Structure 1
Amino acid sequence: MTDTEAMEWGLPEDVAAVREALIAWYEADHREFPWRRTDDPYEILVSEVMSQQTQLERVVTAWEDFLERWPTTADLADADRADVVGFWTDHSLGYNNRAKYLHEAAQQVETEYDGSFPETPDELQELMGVGPYTANAVASFAFNAGDAVVDTNVKRVCYRAFDIPDDDGAFEEAASDLMPDGRSRVWNNAIMELGGIACGQTPRCDEARCPWRAWCSAYETGDFTAPDVPTQPSFDGSRRQFRGRVIATLREYDELELDTLGHRIRVDYTPEGQHGREWLTGLLADLADDGLVAVEERDGGTVARLQR
């Protein structure tokens, strides 16, 4: 990158010093999540899927338990999908279709890739449920072959430090310009750590010894505004919560008639009420579309069971 390009994006002229400072800061001290100690693509994929919209500290136990039960893609591919989805529900990981997609991705690795993971972001996106962000993270952390990761933390850091405009294209280009060639593993870990530890919603510049204070516009001006971040809707009372309750209840019983299931997942269920048959039928239809639940009409009634 030329000095002209750096100045266009608000990046300092001495980008090499910026890079070296961040990597040195990260390597000197960072949070010791277990998936940061492995380059196994399967273990990293599990961590990335579990971490979506979930605090990392909550993921550690679930990740360790999951890999103890299904330590390889072959083990996961051979598992009963209902057991995988049930694990997801038991550990309150949300969005049970992620468990389904992870199970299907393991089957793809075994049947289509002979047990070996694809290594590039484009190839990894061929796996079920693996979008651009997750594919790039796995390519970076498993194979050191990824592009610059651009998540909420990275956007906030770039916006505050270098006045990058609040625009996805601008963030992607700036993040790419910042990342040193061939070092996606350490760089993407480091810049996300910076956003999570030093440059959170409430900045801790001095306390966390932010390595970019010498270049940071926000540190110089005291203006720590950040790009708008969508608010995660409350879990309590949400469709996500009741989807999880449906899965958990159907794991306990082979199958249940519609009203029986309704009464078991919420105390205010009334067949003709606001949260009655119509509401529950819609919930089951969503789960059926995700391949998690089978719904059958039998003897004049509706019966639900887990999809095997």
Structure 2
Amino acid sequence: MSEQAGDDHLPNDVPAVQTALVEWYEADHRDYPWRQTDDPYEILVSEVMSQQTQLDRVVAAWEDFLEQWPTVADLAAADRGDVVGFWTDHSLGYNNRAKYLHEAARQVVEDHDGQWPRDPDGLSELMGVGPYTANAVASFAFNNGNAVVDTNVKRVLYRAFDVPDDDSAFEETAQRLMPEGRSEVWNNAIMELGGVACEKTPDCDGAQCPWREWCSAYQSGDFTAPDVPTQPTFEGSRRQMRGRVISVLNEYDELALDELGPRVRVDYAPEGEYGREWLRGLLSDLDDDGLVTLTDGVATLSRT
């Protein structure tokens, strides 16, 4: 690897590293539709959808969502049950993300008069918007973000510059590497690098990685990287069953436990392992999220 600059894990010629990545990205990158907009609403929707779903699958869902609710005001005025139902129908992961997105839209409309916060601190005050998402929206909508650090970025920094597997080290190095005032293109570029060239199985030469001349892993042949958490199996999971409850209640509006149960699991038996006790547990979780109410043995989809 080339000579390092002090203890920050970066090569001495940081401007050359920056230029190489930006030019690589601008020459060719995946053309997702949310990369063609600076609308913070459209970008937030894409970021929330992408949290548990592969990007290629997000495209159709994102387009359908914006067709149904084109603006933040449209989403704020929507029935929450309809938003959650959309999330379930499109298999977009945890339904509470739909609830939080709906609530964030209401905050923008009701608390900010429809004007979006423009920096990560302001955006992080919206419901369900954590540090990563706040940075992403600030970067891609307003070119006003900090360095984004996701799993892909960590993998790149760990391999290329020997950054230790430590969140604070990743964040400090990422921030020092990002060109000032260029968060929009930079964060897109470094995430693209991790997504197409520096995946778990790297494709350095095939993807023409622009950092090969500085990359420690490329020079050593050691492409180990921080452990990536394994996504729990979806089929038969509690998350899948919660989604089925929402889907069924979105169709029937309200059902007694023993009417709801067989529609959620074909092996539902009132006194069995997957019976009333199990179903009450699911409904209790959904009630805590404000998605379902259970009154006198009747489950109802919350629509407020």
Q: TM-score range by the shorter chain?
A: over 0.9
Q: Please give the alpha-carbon distance, in whole angstroms, between the structure 2 residues aligned to 1:25 and 1:159.
A: 20
Match of 1:116 in 2: 115
Write the deviation string for residues 23-53 of structure 1: whole angstroms up to 9, x where unpaired.
0000000000000000000000000000002
Q: Please give the alpha-carbon distance, in whole angstroms, between the structure 1 residues aligned to 2:149 and 2:11.
A: 19
Letter of the 1:175 partner, please give it.
A
Letter of the 1:100 partner, please give it.
K
Letter of the 2:300 partner, please give it.
R
Give the drift of 1:54.
1.2
Give the drift of 1:10.
2.0
Give the drift of 1:272.
1.4
Q: Please give the alpha-carbon distance, in whole angstroms, between the structure 1 residues aligned to 2:74 and 2:19.
A: 41
The reply to whether residue 74 of structure 1 matches residue 73 of structure 2 is: yes
Give the drift of 1:281.
0.5
CA contact (8 A) 2:156 2:198 kept: yes
Letter of the 2:259 partner, please give it.
T
3-state DSSP class of the match of 1:256?
strand
Match of 1:85 in 2: 84
Match of 1:281 in 2: 280
Percentage of matched positions with identical amino acids: 75
Matches within 5 A, 1:221-260: 221-260=220-259
Q: Please give the alpha-carbon distance, in whole angstroms, between the structure 2 residues aligned to 1:237 and 1:108.
A: 35
Match of 1:45 in 2: 44
CA contact (8 A) 2:4 2:11 kept: no
Match of 1:306 in 2: 301
3-state DSSP class of the match of 1:219?
helix
Write the deviation string for residues 247-285 of structure 1: whole angstroms up to 9, x where unpaired.
110011121001111111101111111111111101000
The reply to whether residue 165 of structure 1 matches residue 164 of structure 2 is: yes
Give the drift of 1:7.
3.0
Write the deviation string for residues 60-93 of structure 1: whole angstroms up to 9, x where unpaired.
0000000011000110111111111110011010
Match of 1:26 in 2: 25
Give the drift of 1:5.
8.5
Q: Please give the alpha-carbon distance, in whole angstroms, between the structure 2 residues aligned to 1:251 and 1:177.
A: 48
Letter of the 2:298 partner, please give it.
V
CA contact (8 A) 2:250 2:301 kept: yes
3-state DSSP class of the match of 1:281?
helix
Write the deviation string for residues 136-195 of structure 1: whole angstroms up to 9, x where unpaired.
110010000000000000000000000000111100001011100000000000000000
Match of 1:134 in 2: 133
3-state DSSP class of the match of 1:6?
coil
Q: Please give the alpha-carbon distance, in whole angstroms, between the structure 1 residues aligned to 2:135 and 2:5.
A: 24
Q: Please give the alpha-carbon distance, in whole angstroms, between the structure 1 residues aligned to 2:228 and 2:35.
A: 26
Give the drift of 1:97.
0.6
Matches within 5 A, 1:89-104: 89-104=88-103
Match of 1:177 in 2: 176
CA contact (8 A) 2:18 2:177 kept: yes
Q: Please give the alpha-carbon distance, in whole angstroms, between the structure 2 residues aligned to 1:15 and 1:166.
A: 21
Letter of the 2:57 partner, please give it.
R
CA contact (8 A) 2:52 2:92 kept: no
3-state DSSP class of the match of 2:228?
coil
Matches within 5 A, 1:134-213: 134-213=133-212
Write the deviation string for residues 89-116 of structure 1: whole angstroms up to 9, x where unpaired.
1101010111111111111110111111
Residues 101 and 88 (structure 1), Cα distance of their counterparts in 2 relative to 1, 3 Å cut: same
Instruction: In structure 1, list runs of 5 or more residues that go unmatched.
Output: none
Q: Please identify runs of 4+ aligned residues in structure 1 that moved more than 4 A.
A: none
3-state DSSP class of the match of 2:5?
helix
Letter of the 2:258 partner, please give it.
D
Instruction: In structure 2, list runs of 5 or more residues that go unmatched.
Output: none
Letter of the 2:301 partner, please give it.
L
CA contact (8 A) 1:9 1:162 kept: no
Q: Please give the alpha-carbon distance, in whole angstroms, between the structure 2 residues aligned to 1:83 and 1:278.
A: 27
